Structure formats: structure tokens, C-alpha cells
Amino acid sequence: MAEGRTVVAAVGIVALAGVAVARTVLARRVVRRPRPAAPDAALPGVTVLVAVRSGDPLLPARLAEQADALAPAQVLLLVDDDDPAGHSAACEAARGRDHVAVVDHAPPPPGTNPKLHKLALAEPACREVVVVLDDDTVLPAGGLARLVGGLTDADLVTGIPVYLDRGGLPSRLVAAFVNSSALPSYLALTAVAAPVSINGMVLATRRRDLAAIGGLASLLDATCDDYALALAYRRHGLRIAQLAEPVLLATTVGGLPGYARLLHRWMLFAQQVVQRDLTPGLLVLVIVPAVLPIAVVGAALAAGPVATVTALGVLVGQTVATRGLRRDLGVGADGVRGLALEVLALLLAPLHAAAAFVGPRHVRWRGRRVRVGVGSAADSERAADGGADRP
């Protein structure tokens, strides 16, 4: 019996190491691809749309950092009329920056995606290239030019989220979850196939291509707006590209319950992609690597201390390799504490995914309660908390 447990643990450890090496090799190929940048003269023809919602104490500073990084592109900060704190933060970011404007909108009606509501209303004012950027996200130096440069070979491009390790434990756990998985998942998939979805922290496209799919207004009933937009582009034969272009996020998460709610929402969104677009690449390069860590460590614990230490050593090596990818992209990694949290995040990820299958289908997002689905926002209703879990 003990020998059998040892064999199972050994096979699992070898599989875990093999998958980690394969994903790192594939991701590094994408990282090392040239990243051409659009000429500076093209940037005044770019409009950056930022849907602003208050609730995070970092918001004023993040918006100001955004504005400085995006010049000379036109920046429209889109604010709800019922969000005075968001309006104040946006006005502060626009002060003294001629390329930034604040645009107020009435709150969305029931059954409408609150983020897309503002973006769709602003779409007619956009210039030739439209960039959508989350309000907690900042592009590094030259990032906007490289993002726009990616449109040379695609009709919609998106970048790679990297969280800054800031704040208390819940915020750092969110950072660890994204930083441990985003690069090897997104980039390894990109090395073998065209993306089936996108991450909505940042995207760039041409206004004419948005018009070809019916504009953002055609997606107003979609809660999983990133996936809905990708589906629309794919249906119209438009090309989507995942660039190895980092975008820097910083989010304040209110306590462990806030962390759990945020991960629950993300996992529900991911379920929509898996249910509709499960490909061999997604299975082998995302789902299996997400499940393996906790399965292998569980088998190693049953096999004894040597197997357990070996399995954890493989996870540490995997995390070090992922942090190396971030450094290759010019984003520094934090210290030993961050490494430990990223290993922990690898073990927690399948538990969050499992909880999403049995938990509620409604989530609170940007101040509103919505049922998660592609085109299923018809039962949206105002949230009682006014946006407490805005990330």
C-alpha cells in the first residue's frame, strides 16, 4: 500500500514538473517575440476609455498614473452620475492634463452591463483606435505604443495582467493568484493557438472593427463582457492577438470575504469560456495545470515527507520560472513572501474553481448584482452595498 502511494506521488510529481516546463518554454517563446511599437505620431489618433467606479482608496493615484502614461492619446474618464467619489478622483486626474476629459453618464438601466453602458455611450466620440483600460490598471512606459503597434497584425489585441504586491493579505492573495497563473496560461496558449477569449484589463482595436460587430452597444446584456466581445470578433472573422505586453494592476481588497467574492466571480467568468470553448490547448495548458498542484501535493502527503518536500519543491521551481517570465517583460518580482503566496495560490486555485460550481450564480460587480453569463444580464439589479466589491 505504501509503495503504491509512493508510485502515484512520483508519477504526479513528474507530470507536474513536465507541465510546468512545457508551459514555461511556450510562454518564453512568446515573450521573446519582437514587440513593434506604433510611431509617436499615431498616438494622437488613439482614444483611451476608462470606466471609473469608486470604492478603492488607490483609485485617485491610479488614475493620475494612467493619465501621465497615456499622453498624448485622448483619455476619456467615464463616471456615473451617482458616484461623486469617482467623479472627484477623475477630475483630479484630469486637472492640468489637456489630453484627459471627464465624461459623466446616468447610471445604467436594469439589465445593462454597468461597464459596457459607459463605454458604449463614449464610443461615438472615439478616434481611429480605441483602447479600453480598467481604472486600476497602468501601462508601463511605451506600453500604449506597443499595444497599438500590435494592431498591425490583428484586429483586437490585449496585454498580460501583472498585479503589484501591495496592501494587506487579501490584496496580496489576489496579486499572487494572478501573478502565478496569468503569464504561463495566456502566453502558453498563444504559442499554440489563437485566443478564444481576452482579458479585459486592457484591449486595443480600431473603431471601424467595433462598428463591424455592431459596436459595444450590441453587447450591453453580457455580464462576461470580455468573452462576449471576443466571441463577436471571432464570429465576424476578425483576428484576436494576445501580446506579451504587461499591464500593471493594483487593487485594494476588503478582507478575506472580499477576496473570496472576487475569486468566485472570476471563476464563474472562466466557467463560461470552458463550457462554450473547451479546446485541447485550454485543457492541457490551463485546466490540467490548475488541478495538478493540489492533487500532487495531496498524493505526496499520503506518500510521506520526502514526496511532500519534492512536490513543494517543484511548485517553488514553477513559481520561480513564472517570476522569471515577469522579469523578462521588465516587471520586477517581489521577495520571498510573494513567492510563498504564489505557491499558496497555486494550491488554492482548484478549490476556488470547485466552489464556483456549487456557489451562487449571482455576483456583485461595480455596485450592481448580476447573474453571470454571456448575454445574461437581463436580471441585473442594484446591489445593496453600492459597490463595496468594485474590483
- 366: region left, alpha or beta (phi > 0 left; psi from -120 to 50 alpha): left
- pLDDT number for residue 5: 84
- Domain 2-382: assigned CATH number: 3.90.550.10
pLDDT in the model for residue 119: 97
pLDDT value of position 223: 82
- Residues 130, 153: Cα–Cα separation, whole Å: 16
Give pLDDT tens digits along the chain (391 positions).
Answer: 678 889 999 999 999 999 999 999 999 999 999 988 999 899 999 999 999 999 899 999 999 999 999 999 999 999 999 999 999 999 999 999 999 999 999 988 877 888 999 999 999 999 999 999 999 999 999 999 999 999 999 999 999 999 988 889 999 999 999 999 999 999 999 999 999 999 889 999 999 999 999 999 999 988 888 999 999 999 999 999 999 999 999 999 989 988 988 898 888 888 888 888 899 999 999 999 999 999 999 999 999 999 999 999 999 999 999 999 999 998 877 788 889 999 999 999 999 988 877 765 555 555 555 555 455 433 333 332 333 344 5
pLDDT at 361: 56
For the chain, give the secondary structure using H, E and C.
Answer: CHHHHHHHHHHHHHHHHHHHHHHHHHHHHHHCCCCCCCCHHHHHHEEEEEECCCCCCCHHHHHHHHHHHHCCCEEEEEEECCCHHHHHHHHHHHCCCCCEEEEEECCCCCCCCHHHHHHHHHHHHCCCEEEEECCCEECCCCHHHHHHHHHHCCCEEEEEEEECCCCCHHHHHHHHHHHHHHHHHHHHHHHHCCCCCCCCCEEEEEHHHHHHCCCHHHHCCCCCHHHHHHHHHHHCCCCEEEEEEEEEECCCCCHHHHHHHHHHHHHHHHHHHHHHHCCHHHHHHHHHHHHHHHHHHHHHHHHCHHHHHHHHHHHHHHHHHHHHHHHHCCCCCCCHHHHHHHHHHHHHHHHHHHHHHHCCCEEEECCEEEECCCCCHHHCEECCCCCCCCC
What is the per-residue pLDDT for 94?
97
pLDDT at residue 307, rounded to an integer: 96
What are the grid coordinates assigned to 336, written together? 520571498
pLDDT for 3 equals: 80
Sequence spans of domains, the chain? 2-382
